[in-house]
Chains A and B, each alone.
Chain A
Amino acid sequence: MRVKVNGTEMEIKAETLMELLEELSINPQRVAVEVNLEIVRKDRFSEYKIKEGDSIEIVNFVGGG
């Protein structure tokens, strides 16, 4: 299905957030995820079903002051 991840439109195979993180080779421990501006808690990644057209943001920590 087509979704937007971090501002980029893409076609994904994943059906849940956990599967999406796996598909993108992202360690779920070190990120926070927002779907359509709502934060999804880590413990819900496996059960959270992605829908066509969802806007997903995956963030982590980078160097900063």
Chain B
Amino acid sequence: MNDPLIIRGIEFKSRLWVGTGKYRDFEETARAIEASGADVVTVAVRRVNIIDRTKENLLDYIDPKKYKILPNTAGCYTVEDALRYARLAREAGVSDMIKLEVIGDEKTLFPDVCGLLKATEILAKEGFIVFPYTNDDPITAKRLVDAGAAAVMPLGAPIGSGLGIRNPYNIKIILETVNIPVIVDAGVGTASDVSIAMELGCDAVLVNTAIAGAKDPIMMAEALKHACIAGRLAYRAGRIPKKLYASASSPIEGMLT
């Protein structure tokens, strides 16, 4: 299936994007990513452990030549912090891509959209390819386009909640509102959630906890890979309209009288 996702000239082979958090160890991380078929992996920016230098590096297991590394600004609650982390990420990494998070609240991890808009505008002007993690709000999505976002990443449900796509209608409206890729980020609990997002017409889905937290992360990664392909194909194939009453699949003609 030749159906690549292209954002700002960068070609993405898989429409399933995966995170690297919450795994037991780096080996499991690497195996799950491999099984997911993803070519984009998100990472966080944190202090190097200077006390215990025996600790291994994530990039020993995830080859930046094989995968597109998408650093995030997770844990940032202010515009200033998000900018600082984004700039450090660009310096540590190999690309201008940033998954921008400006978090508004510890309990929900919902985005602070005012801060998000401000940070998106500043980073886009600095040449970043900005992927803002946002609410499932079409108006905010539109403002993010104006601010220079390369794609919008509306949440399906709170990060790590596994509640699935809580408001598919808003996601649908976002898809009709913006002319840049829409990537559902957060909320996926299992395979059907990924399919739902893709059937709606989303360009990609980003998943972390649903894989890392599964009883068998490697098997779940594979399940989500198939769910993503299935959902995308179903979207492109064009589903039948929903009707209240039946319409027979077998002909009436030729029935015995």
Q: A residues touching B (Cβ–Cβ < 8 Å)? A: 5-8, 24-27, 30-34, 37, 39, 41-42, 57-65
Interface centre among A5, A31, A32, A57 (most CB of B within 10 A): A32
Once A and B bind, how many residue pairs between them come within 8 Å at the CB atom? 105
Query: Chain A's nearest CB lies how many Å from the CB of B123?
Result: 14
- Those 5 A-B pairs whose CB atoms lie nearest each other, nearest first: A64-B44, A65-B19, A65-B208, A32-B91, A32-B92
Q: Is A61 within 8 A of B208, CB to CB?
A: no
Which residues of chain B have a CB within 8 Å of any CB of chain A?
19-23, 26, 29, 42-48, 50-51, 53, 57-59, 69, 71-72, 74, 84, 87-93, 159-160, 186, 206, 208-209
Is the CB–CB distance between A30 and B42 below 8 Å? no
Q: Given contacts A6-B48, A26-B50, A60-B46, could you give 11 more A-B pairs where the C-beta distance is less than 8 Å?
A: A31-B92, A34-B88, A37-B84, A60-B92, A61-B57, A61-B71, A62-B45, A63-B26, A64-B71, A65-B159, A65-B208
Query: Which of chain B's residues has its CB closest to A20's CB?
Result: B50
**Cβ of A32 to closest chain B Cβ, rounded Å:** 4
Q: Which of B20, B42, B48, B59 contacts A59 (CB 8 A)?
A: B48
Q: How far is the CA of A30 from the CA of B63 in the complex (A)?
A: 12
**Nearest CB of B to A54, in Å:** 15
Known: A5-B50, A65-B72. A39 touches B20 (CB 8 A): no
Give the distance to chain B from A2, nearest Cβ to Cβ, in Å: 15
B50 engages A24 (CB within 8 Å): yes
List, in ascending order, chain B residues with CB within 8 A of A64's CB. 19-21, 42-45, 71-72, 74, 208
Q: Which of A31, A32, A57, A65 has the most CB of B within 10 A?
A: A65
A6: contacting residue among B20, B47, B90, B92, CB under 8 A: B47
Query: Is the Cβ of A61 less than 8 Å from the Cβ of B69?
Result: yes
Q: When the two chains form their complex, are residues A32 and B89 in contact, meaning their CB atoms are under 8 A apart? A: yes
* 29 sample A-B contacts, Cβ–Cβ < 8 Å, listed by A number: A6-B50, A8-B51, A30-B59, A33-B91, A34-B84, A41-B91, A42-B91, A59-B47, A60-B45, A60-B48, A60-B57, A60-B59, A61-B46, A63-B20, A63-B23, A63-B26, A63-B58, A64-B42, A64-B43, A64-B71, A64-B72, A64-B74, A64-B208, A65-B20, A65-B42, A65-B72, A65-B159, A65-B160, A65-B208
